[in-house]
Structure 1
Amino acid sequence: MAGAALTALGLPSGAAGTATAATATAARPKDSHPRAAAGFRGMWIATITNRDFPSRPGLTAAEQRAELVGWLDLAVRRRMTAVMLQIRPSADALWPSPYEPWAQCLTGVQGRDPGWDPLGTAVAEAHARGLELHAWCNPYRVAGHADPRRLAPDHPVRRHPGWALVHNGRLLYNPGLPEVRRHVQDAMLDAVHRYDIDALHWDDYFYPYPVAGQVIDDDEAFARYGAGFADRAAWRRNNTDLLVAETAARIKEARPGVAFGISPFGVWRNASADPAGSATRSGVQTYDDLYADTRRWIREGWIDYVVPQLYWNIGFPSADYAELVRWWDATVRGTGVNLFLGEALYKVGDPAQPEAWRDPRELARHVELARSYENVGGHVYFAAREVAKDPLGALTAVLDASP
């Protein structure tokens, strides 16, 4: 099946390292996703470091299941239409995966069987409540530390040490290696093949966020696979493009009704760097700093929906929420790609944030503003813990302002 998918992209089976994503631009048929047109409201349920679920590692299977069902019941009470459950937080899995070990967040020990199937349960229970289940994966994160010996004995990085990089004290898969790209696709697509998920969903981590004094140690991969590219940045962007384009094709081959969505950092490029960019002055630009050409993925139709993380307030000087809504609305116009806006519910009431976040109606104003843009189909809130707490009554204000 994998070889057939690559052939459909115009790429040889085995994905030669010098292939370019330009060969993956053939038009794909768009599927109908019933909640995409209007009224989409989602919440992320994060499992990394037990942020939202499970509340702590080592709970019994029954306790974990009860917590998960509780989050889904909360989603219904808060009038959500979808949940984005993080099923692959650190190159480990919330289902019995043949590719990567059981997730550490479940039992406290990576690779230990928790005694139940969280993803299978989530799909069944979400659908029973009329919710969509979007399976949220992080493609390249391996661990929040730099010691491979702390990984499960059968972890792919233990078996293939050359697949990993260390950046800022953390392990990640090397995006420049074709065999890594194939492995992470296989690992994520296993969930697509085996479960009735509504979407495969990615977050914003591709190449790592820049850190002062840190470099990405991919010299060897670039020397091996970088011939023919203008510079290393172009090669890195192509690696990310290939991951997106190949995954899109393989999803459509495996289960055409499954959507493919990505939630990138909210700024593609500042207008000072590119006239096509937004009127922002953000210190991070996905194109330049994360080697993720999010605008291209939309224009090529590789993804079905995009959820830019617009984690700023209206009027924020360097990244005005209002300007970014305008830019993303214009970017998806006419493409068939659905636009939902990622919202920073976690910032509400935080004294460390700008004063706008101490106004209970800041997020309600986001919803009211977005109504004036025809291509905005809804909003997604980070994250479940805050949906439960409803800081300052901000989510209640959102619901009061919504149809």
Structure 2
Amino acid sequence: MGVVKSQTNATQWEGITRRLGLSGVAYCIVDLQQIRQAADLAGTQVLFLPNVETLSAVQVQALQDWMGKGGRIIVSGPVGTLSQPDVRSKLRSLLGAYWGFSLQNPSTLAPTSGKNQGWMQQNGLAGIIRGGVIIPAGLTSQTAAVWKSTENPPAVVTTDRSVFLGWRWGVDTASEPKLDSAWLRASLTRYGGVGDARNPAQRNCTPPNAIASSASTPAKPPSPTPTNRSAALPPASPPFQLPDLNGDGLVAPAGLEVKPSSQPITASQASAMRQELEALIGRFESAQLAANAVTGGLENRGTSTQNSKLKTPNPLSNARIALQNFLQLVAQKNYTGARQQWLQARRILWDNYPKDRPQTQPEIRAMWLDRGTIIRAGSEQQLAKIFDRLAAAGFNTVFFETVNAGYPIYPSRVAQIKNPLVRGWDPLASAVKLAHQRGMELHAWVWIFAIGNQRHNALLNLPKEYPGPVLDLNPTWAGYDNRGRIFHLGSGKTFLDPANPEARRYLIQMLEEIVKNYQVDGVQFDYIRNPFQDPNAGYSFGYGTAARQQFQQLTGVDPVKISPKDRDLWQRWTQFRTNAIDSFVAEASRNLRSIKSNLILSAAVFPFPKNERLQKLQQHWEVWAQRGDIDLVVPMTYALDTNRLQSLTRPLLSQNQLGSTLILPSIRLLNLPDVVAVDQIQALRNFPASGYALFAAENLNDNLQGIFRRTQSQQAIASPLPYRQPFKAAAARYVSLQQEWTFLEANNQLWIKEPALSEWRKQADALSKALNQLADNPSRNNLTMAKALLASFQFQFKKWMQSEGLEQPYQVEVWANRLATLERLLLYGERTLK
């Protein structure tokens, strides 16, 4: 066994070595800095990383390659938590788990029992430890021990290649030496033995050139057998491993990664890097202008020569200089210096991003309040603190996780089962009350067709193959893959058959129960789709009993017998599954609005291109929007940088196939630096969008909450909500737009000359009057007038802004987008007129 020593565990090393001596296992010391490739670990069968909080991308790649050759790993504590986001993501996939959060108090560690847990039969594995919750993140991840509490969260998680201990091994304030030693010996036993050296000599691991031929590869524990619940389907083939799209797979990687290097920069790379910096400068400047227009601050954009008293702020000036230096250094083939200048420019802008003044533009500011955060709250009193934070941060809409993996978080007569982690209170009733007290809207966030989850089973200490409470009672409602397996291979979830009439009736009755019994302002459909598939690779889903019977009645063919090669039949099968979901959305929408006409309906959807989405998910949200079944489309445009967020979002906002439905793009906070989150929000504000949604409350840290409190809390709750008061929101947003123009004109920074200037002012004022009149007195006539004046203003806008566009092309594009947002709000508002 090799034991890794690093900078982050150096202060704990004395305690670690004492525990190693007590364990009586043979080991040597591996310097983390020496791990650059798999060969650096040659001869080592098992590697132990005690409390190593920082790893580089190169080191994680070396570990991955070494484990691919048979190496096995044990880790403890918050491993990798101080690493870069992409490293944390890769490490999570490698280990099949990650450090979730620290427990506030010492807790009782309790090993679990199971068919694959024979290695934990020895004594001394239970005790009191100060540790943290380990979140399983892989299809084969198993919980080996839990922290005894009402939730029994995971404390030790294993895969066939790793053991993750949820405490700082070797630290006296965390655990007892005997307990640490017992868990290390048990973990090594899992891999075939603990060695027999009674007094191991500490030495550096100096690997030979190749792994000794006598080194044995530890045997893998047997893989769990997939559940086969349909004998009529063909026998299961070897598992087709899809990426785990339940977690990190949802997040698009960075569109442009720049790291220090001397490698040549190609012409296309230089162009992409230049465009990225110019776009960041544009977003920075746009955010600064919006703040200055509200506060009256005087910060020039750095382009005017008419007023020498107005000086460019240093961040913008320095960033522009760095950009020019970058281009010059690329031309000189000084690629190391070029990258340094590029990174310096980005750092200047990030460090000085406008984060201290309010932005008053009315917009939807939504937050998903996740089940884990709700469960950890445990009472209305503690939940109130969460709503206080959200209100102080300016959020006006909360998507409250109400049904997760088949478990309602409220006492349900329809489901006849409640989340067992909820005891002694009704979180949904408390949430509605707390939100309304703070002037916020509360929308019930409901998992629709996803009805079971192996990760949830682990939290509840249930068998891994438990299909969830609904399918356990109603197995004929299940959807299956094309090999008869009930669990989706990519996510470990079970799904209902959208074509099953009884399953549909159950779901609609539960949605109706929520709307009838609770004063929710809206309902959000999540998992309103089939799970991810790849038909071209031989993996598809949706073969429930009802779906197969109905399709065979229509075509005379059992769908399990066709493949994508049968193009016509396969297209009909895809359309059949898509129609089943489409019709459910229409039925649910009709029923819920008959109960509460002003209910806001939304759907969390994937932003993939339509054809790809229909093949892989059967999710046709354009149809729902065109028919008016939903009010908001909430695409999960999660990305690790703003570049990729924009590339995901731009096509969605530029299409005109959504009728009057609004689009609300979203951002995932997990692994996203705070300044990148702020930059992504600014990018969405500069697009023709009505706001944004953040996933999720559990990732809203104090620093980011403080930024929101300073920039968007003052008028957020009082401002008109676009989906609730679209005409008032349009009028108020136009006021913000006029404030920017007025500010620039007052400071001689608006490049419009006479006679265009007078005509622009005249029409701008006329549009303002029409929007205000519509907001005060909504009517068909006033709407017609406002739409006509807005269309005329948009038509002439490019002509008026021709000179301004030469100086500030990005900002002119932003203004045009914001005018387009007004157009969408008027179109959406038309549905509210009687």
TM-score, normalised via structure 1 length: 0.71
Give the secondary-structure state (helix, strand or coil) at the position aligned to 2:598. coil
Question: What CA distance in whole angstroms lies between the structure 2 residues aligned with 1:207 and 1:92?
Answer: 19
- Which whole-Å CA distance do the structure 2 matches of 1:213 and 1:44 have between them? 34
1:328-374 deviation line (CA, Å, top 9, x unaligned): 2223677221221211111314xxxxxxxxxx432222232223333
How far residue 142 of structure 1 moved from its aligned partner, in angstroms, is: 2.1
Structure-2 residue corresponding to 1:279: none
Task: Name 1:304's counterpart in structure 2.
Answer: 631
Match of 2:591 among 250, 254, 259: 250
2:434 alignment partner in structure 1: 125
What is the CA distance between 1:248 and its match in structure 2? 0.9
- 1:372 equivalent to 2:686? Answer yes
- Structure 1 residue 73: deviation in Å? 1.1
**Equivalences for residues 105-120 of structure 1 within 5 A:** 106-107=421-422, 114-120=423-429
5 Å matches for 1:2-41? 38-41=362-365
Residue 295 of structure 1 deviates from its aligned partner by: 1.7
Is 1:163–2:472 an aligned residue pair? no
Aligned residue among 530, 533, 543 for 1:218 = 543
Aligned equivalent of 2:501, options 153, 178, 181:
178
Q: 1:90 to 1:103 in 2, by over 3 A?
A: farther
Aligned-pair CA distance for 1:231? 2.1
Any gaps of 5 or more consecutive residues in structure 2?
1-360, 458-462, 480-485, 556-568, 716-834
Q: CA deviation at 1:314?
A: 4.8
What letter matches 2:421 in structure 1? Answer: L
Give secondary structure in 1 for the equivalent of 2:646: helix
Is the aligned partner of 1:203 residue 2:518?
A: no
Offset at 1:157?
Answer: 2.8
Using a 3 Å threshold, how does the CA distance of structure 1 residues 385 and 71 change in structure 2: closer, same or farther? same
Counterpart CA distance in 1 for 2:450 and 2:592 is 21
CA contact (8 A) 2:405 2:447 kept: yes
Partner in structure 1 of residue 57 of structure 2: none
Gap change, CA 1:179 and 1:135, over 3 Å in 2: same
Asked if residue 143 in structure 1 is aligned to residue 143 in structure 2, the reply is no
In structure 1, the partner of 2:579 is: 238
Query: 2:739: which partner in 1?
Result: none
3-state DSSP class of the match of 1:231?
helix
Aligned residues: 319
User: Which residue of structure 2 lines up, in the alignment, with residue 331 of structure 1?
Assistant: 655
1:332 and 1:339 in contact (8 A); partners too: no
Q: CA deviation at 1:105?
A: 5.2
Give the CA RMSD over aligned residues. 2.9
Alpha-carbon contact 2:589-2:601 (below 8 Å) kept:
yes
Report the Cα distance in structure 2 between the residues aligned to 1:119 and 1:84, rounded to whole angstroms. 11
- Equivalent residue, structure 1, for 2:375: 54
Secondary structure of residue in 2 paired with 1:84? strand
Structure-2 change in CA distance of 1:395 and 1:308 (3 Å): farther
Deviates more, 1:289-298 or 1:158-167: 158-167
Q: 2:386 aligns with which of 62, 71, 74?
A: 71
Given that 2:409 and 2:419 are in contact with CA atoms closer than 8 Å, whether structure 1 keeps it comes out as: no
Residues 160-216 of structure 1, C-alpha deviations (whole Å, 9 max, x = no match): 221123123433222221221121111122101111101001224521123777542
Q: 1:287 to 1:401 in 2, by over 3 A?
A: farther
Whole-Å separation in 1 of the counterparts to 2:605 and 2:660:
18
Corresponding residue of 1:83: 398
For 2:475 and 2:544, locate their aligned partners in 1 and report how far apart those are by CA, in whole Å: 16
Question: How far is 1:398 from its partner?
Answer: 5.8
User: Which one-letter code corresponds to 2:593 in the other structure?
Assistant: K
Residue equivalent to 1:341: 665
CA drift of 1:397 comes to: 4.8
- With 203-212 and 289-298 compared, the bigger mean Cα shift is at 203-212
Residue 149 of structure 1: CA displacement? 8.9
Output the CA distance in 1 between the equivalents of 2:573 and 2:684: 38
Task: Give CA deviations for 1:122-164 in whole Å, capped at 9, x if unaligned.
Answer: 1111101111001000002222239699578xx4434322112
Q: Choose between structure 1 and 2: higher helix proportion.
A: 2
Which of the pair has the greater relative contact order for Cα pairs under 8 Å at 6+ separation? 1
TM (norm. structure 2) is 0.36
2:415 aligned residue (90, 96, 100): 100
- In the alignment, which residue of structure 2 is the partner of 1:286? 613
Shift of 1:92: 1.8
In the superposition, relative to structure 1, how do residues 215 and 96 fare at CA in structure 2: closer, same or farther (>3 Å)?
same
Q: Classify 1:333/1:290 alpha carbon distance in 2 versus 1 (closer, same or farther; 3 Å).
A: closer
Q: Per-residue deviation at 1:70?
A: 1.8
| Offset at residue 222 of structure 1 (A) | 3.3
Map of 2:694 onto structure 1:
381
Distance (whole Å) between structure 2 residues aligned to residue 250 and residue 219 of structure 1: 25
Residues 71-125 of structure 1 show CA distances to partners (whole Å, capped at 9, x for unaligned) of 1111112111011110100212122211114433534xxxxxx232221111111
Letter in 2 for 1:69: A
Change in Cα spacing, 1:156 to 1:309, as seen in structure 2 (3 Å) is closer
Separation in 1, partners of 2:499, 2:464: 19
**Alpha-carbon separation, structure 1, partners of 2:464 and 2:500:** 18
Q: Is the 8 A contact 1:222 1:232 kept in 2?
A: no
CA distance in 2, matches of 1:148, 1:253: 40
**How far off its partner does 1:261 sit?**
0.4
Deviation at 1:220?
3.5
CA gap 1:85/1:332 in 2 versus in 1, 3 angstroms: farther
When residues 395 and 311 of structure 1 are mapped into structure 2, their CA distance, relative to the original with a 3 A threshold, is farther
